[in-house]
Structure 1
Amino acid sequence: MKQTSLTPSPTVLITGGAGFLGQACARRFRVAGWRVVGLGHGRWTDDEALAAGYDRWVNAGVTAKVLDGLADLGQDLHAVAHCASNGSVPYSLEQPLDAYERTVGSTVVLLDYLRRHAPTAVVLYPSSAAVYGAAPDRPLHETDAPNPVSPYGFHKQMVETLLAAHATCFGQPAVAVRFFSIYGPGLRKQLLWDASGRLLSGESPLTFFGTGEETRDWIHVDDAAALMLRLAERARGEPTGPVRLDIVNGASGERVTVREVLERLALALGSSAEICFNGTVRAGDPRFYHAAIHRMHAAGWSTSITLDQGLAAYALWARNAHLPAP
């Protein structure tokens, strides 16, 4: 619901605004009464942008020229959800330079713009558990040493270093949220999307990469967006003081094997296909991901959507999304 007081609504800029997480953040911030400005690749009309959660939409990438055109935001900008990034581990292995530019390059440009025009706006960055990389089978803490195993993970770590540098040297507040496995309706890539298409095909048995005993920690996209909002509001309410980069895991804290999540997805889809694994581990795929979520809880927030609830919603959406185009 929109704010009704005379106090102006806070403003958030969402980069990568046409993406999966970007759109979820737009909806969440707008419902909370924020003015939402979006930047991304989407040729939307004003009505379409408004329906997606944006009060203002700019169809463009993150470049110095484009951002300087937004300089009118200035001191009115309270937060940035920097969702513009390469979102694929395989792509970072196939095209590491372009993946670097999309992730690290876009952040360099954004931070320089903020340094000049909005030095107090908090930067909310969706980092990744890929920063932990090869890790033991235990809950991973934000204080654990990074050990990425793909360019994707290294690029995320580089962005965290950039955020820390601008916090220390220029006083730019920032929070890196190390999200684990984000999923939900609208995600047309990665394990659940590929698996749902195969499970709906009627084929059996179905063979997947790995052993099936790899672990993942899933968080629904609506919960991920709600966490970004919570951290933005917490940053606005904090007293001024020494500025540093804050790092928070974003996850449910539930350890689930790949075999189990595929079996639960099959159940949600009504599939009785036999699920098998070939034992081959793909490059860039760590064996274990399980988050320690103490810092997330200390921020006064916890997930609200269980994995079974989320998989049921995803299965309902995926059943229609995989239908052949008329």
Structure 2
Amino acid sequence: MNQVVASPAKSLSTFLDKYKGQIANALPKHISPDRMVRLTMTAFSQNAALQKCDLNSIFGSVVVASQLGLEIGVGGQGYLVPYGGKAQFVPGWQGLVDLVSRAGRATVWTGAVYVGDEFDWALGDAPYVKHRPGAGGDSYRDITHVYAIGRVNGSQFPVIEVWTMDKVIKHLNKFNKVGARHYALEKNGQNMEMYARKVVLLQVLKYMPKSIEVQRAMDVATAVDANKPFTIDGDMVVVDDRDDDQSTVDQATGEVVGAGLPACSDEEFTKNTAAWRKTILDKKKTPAELIAFIETRTVLTENQKLTIDSWSHEGE
């Protein structure tokens, strides 16, 4: 007798219905458990990799989203992201903005500057950001800067933070423990802008008045981006800061080197040499920019870096 195997969607639906009471206990009053389950099922149906994830990890991610009061896949508030067979809830920058707005004590926003935009900014005793968007770009590779602005109610001047994309990528290299599986890098970097805007926004939020919900979301976002396990215990986020990878610290810069990323083999370097060299010769990236980009996926040796740099001097 053939046994009927339930579809992944049916299995998840049954699983979530069984624990809907726990989801309800975690949710704020303005979100119903039925709505959260529907949003989860929608995200699940749209992501084949998510359908292969452990159901317990999906449920755990739904509970985290519920505790933060963020809806999955709605207006960029947060996302269910698969990591090696397990799901993780990743707060989006729009979710952080929404939580600050709900608290009613400050306003924050963030933007991305593309090639061709008019952009000017300054720090000091009268900080400002002026951004006039142009035609935009086709990918995150066309982004030159990201910025965030925060203004406490009644304050005269804003708090601003501006990062180049080179700085964003260096930040990603420093804390990325899952290599090319990082959500910012998947699907040819389609989430890189979201990641970049969230990272710079988190810097501004440090100086804003924070509700319990905002602080929890900040802690979760930071833990997720560093791929560190965490639990939400009441109003606190408890992060496991034990470092079990094989990364080392550059004593000159204090930065983490090789944080969980594989080394670039000679075969891989040779395979990509033609394309990378063309990028330098066509002046699409400087050697430093190309090295930073490559090292979001793999760690280069010093000789490989010198080779990349040498391409910029060809013909001199």
**TM-score computed with the length of structure 1 as normaliser:** 0.29
> What TM-score, normalized to structure 2?
0.29
**Larger RCO of the pair (alpha carbons < 8 Å, separation 6+):** 1
Which structure: larger Rg?
2
